[in-house]
Amino acid sequence: MASFMDRLNREIENFGKQARTALDEGKLQLELVRLKRQQDNVARDLGMLVHRRERGGDAEPRRIDALLLRLDDLEQAVARVKREIAAAKGEAVTVESEPAPTSAQPADVRTGETEAVSPGMPEPPAAPPPPPPPQSSF
| Dihedral (Cα; 18, 36, 103, 48), 10-degree rounding | 180
Q: What percent of the chain has pLDDT over 70?
A: 65
Higher pLDDT: 134 or 32? It is 32
Question: How many whole angstroms separate alpha carbon 49 and alpha carbon 72?
Answer: 17
- What are 56-98's pLDDT values in tens digits? 888 899 999 999 999 999 999 999 999 999 988 876 555 555 5
Q: How many residues does the chain have?
A: 138
- 127 confidence band (pLDDT: 50, 70, 90): low
Neighbours of 95 (CB within 10 A): 9
Q: Are 46 and 10 in contact (CB under 8 A)?
A: no
Q: In sequence order, what are the residues at sequence separation of 6 or more whose Cβ sits closer than 8 angstroms to the Cβ of residue 42?
A: 67, 70, 71, 74
Cα dihedral 99, 102, 106, 107 sign: positive
Query: Is residue 87 within 8 Å of residue 23, measured between CB atoms?
Result: no
* pLDDT digits 0-9 by tens, 89-113: 876 555 555 555 554 444 554 455 4
Residue 18 pLDDT level (bands cut at 50, 70, 90): confident
The contacts of residue 133 (CB under 8 Å, 6+ apart) are none
pLDDT of residue 90: 78
Instruction: Dump the DSSP string for 42-60.
Output: HHHHHHHHHHHHHTT----
Phi and psi of 93, rounded to 5°? -100, 130
Q: What is the pTM of this model?
A: 0.57
| Cβ neighbours around 88 below 10 Å, total | 15
